[in-house]
Amino acid sequence: MNFLEECSRGVSVLWESIVSHPFLRELAKGVLPGQKFSYYLAQDDYYLEDLLSTLGLLVAKADEKPLKVFAARLLSETIAGEVAMHETIEKEGYAHPFSKGEIARQYGDFLLRTAYEEDALGILVAISPCFFTYRDIGVRWIREVNERTPQVYRLWLEVYAGEAYRDLVDTLRGWVCRKASLVSPSRKEKLFGTFRWATILEYRFWQESYTLDVDSSLT
């Protein structure tokens, strides 16, 4: 059993709670209120800002050239893919001035603290649950879209269900497993904790977007 298989076993119930979250079910079915999606999108914008900074530090901390090249690819494809997709969706009327929520703040602080304090492997593990769950979300829910599903929801799912994102995620998996196979058992235990906390934050991110009174969060 490799490192990521061990990580997955430890968060399997939580993982399923993320991928099957009612926010995502309603999004795919086309019944998610637009205001909830707008709130999520605003929070994800804040998250992406912190992720880009984190990936910049990953580029700087990568200890071998192939990893540095991949880290730069993660950075550039996040900008070309997710950031560009956000800009397209926001032009369709989904941009609202929501303040940064508590979970986006916690998640950003976690990523940046990890990026400054840990090595490249620590950063790779911290970002993995986000990339991996979004891939699983895209694959599961793209099959559920129908004539009621707004085009922007369909576009959002297509990004994460697409081949380009699959290739990015598969390469990330390979790097995490290879680097983790070289560390001590005590270091692995610490990395398991990093992976689990990032997974918890992923769940809380969806939960906040689904349950929050979004009207009270407008700036």
Q: List the domain boundaries for the chain.
A: 3-212
How many angstroms separate the CA atoms of 125 and 117, rounded? 13
Q: Is the pLDDT of residue 216 over 70?
A: no
How many angstroms separate the CA atoms of 100 and 104, rounded? 6
| Average pLDDT over the chain, rounded to an integer | 95
Instruction: Give the per-residue pLDDT at 176.
Output: 98
Residue pLDDT, tens place only, 181-204: 999 999 999 999 999 999 999 999
How many angstroms separate the CA atoms of 60 and 49, rounded? 17
Instruction: Give the per-residue pLDDT at 217.
Output: 52
Instruction: Give the per-residue pLDDT at 197.
Output: 98
Domain 3-212 has CATH 3.40.50.970: no
Taking Cα atoms as reference points, which of 192, 191, 136 lies closest to residue 166?
136
Instruction: Give the per-residue pLDDT at 214.
Output: 58
100's CB contacts (< 8 A; 6+ apart) are 43, 46
93's CB contacts (< 8 A; 6+ apart) are none
- Mean pLDDT for 150-157 is 95
Residue pLDDT, tens place only, 159-186: 999 999 999 999 999 999 999 999 999 9
Q: Is the pLDDT of residue 126 over 80?
A: yes
Q: Is the pLDDT of residue 23 over 60?
A: yes
Instruction: Give the per-residue pLDDT at 95.
Output: 77
Taking Cα atoms as reference points, which of 43, 2, 10 lies closest to residue 207?
43
Residue pLDDT, tens place only, 79-113: 999 999 999 998 888 877 899 999 999 999 999 99
Q: How many residues does the chain have?
A: 219
